[in-house]
Amino acid sequence: MELRQMATAYIFKDEKVLMIKKSNSRLYNSEFWSGLGGHLEPNELNCPRTACLREIFEESGIEESELSELRLRYILIRIKENEIRQQYVYFGKTTKYQLITSNEGEVYWLEMGEVMTKHISKINREMLEHYIVHREDQGLYVGVITISDRQEPVMQWSELRDPMIF
């Protein structure tokens, strides 16, 4: 199996979150919404934060100096065909309102309730629902999406902690 690594950011300004609407991609043939992000380049494989900052800038024009409290909150894992997909998800804040136009898609500031009405992937929807409940936590969570005995997608959560075993 191949490993595909991605970095995504959910950036907040006041009570709104920055989302990107993509008309289509090589992965999907229909419109979908997501946080800002994309695949890690070979030189970023050991530093997903670098990829995240690059994607934020490419898709919105927001520079690292215009961000605050950007930190890794989730690592999402799933299998799609012959790939294990690992997504590093960062959350942060900005005071910048003016955004650039990108060929990646259209960016919008949305209320979280509005985000949940959009066409987003199951794994990201589950992660955002988890975030809403655990927003004040400082933990880093790993989410694995799999198929239940009833052949339905199910999300499993664990807080990632160092067991300090040696």
In a domain, 59, yes or no: yes
Evaluate whether 21 touches 108 at the Cβ level (below 8 Å).
yes
Split into its structural domains, the chain has a count of: 1
Q: Is residue 164 part of a domain?
A: no
pTM: 0.92
In a domain, 37, yes or no: yes
pLDDT band at residue 102 using 50, 70 and 90 as cut-offs:
confident
pLDDT, one tens digit per residue, over 22-56 is 876 555 567 899 999 999 999 999 999 999 999 99
- Please report whether residue 165 resides in a domain: no
* Domain span holding position 52: 2-159
Report if residue 122 sits inside a domain. Answer: yes
Q: What is the dihedral of CA 86, 90, 91, 94, to 10 degrees?
A: -140
State which H helix or E strand residue 106 sits in. strand 106-111
CATH number where 15 lies: 3.90.79.10
Q: Could you tell me the two tokens for 14? A: 């006041």
DSSP string, 128-156: HHHHHHHTT----EEEEEEE-TTS-EEEE
- For residue 36, is it within any domain? yes
Choose among 19, 85, 21: nearest CA to 56. Answer: 19
- Tell me if 144 is assigned to some domain: yes
* In a domain? residue 166: no
Could you give the CA distance from residue 38 to residue 22 in angstroms, rounded to a whole number?
A: 12
Over range 110-131, report the average pLDDT: 94
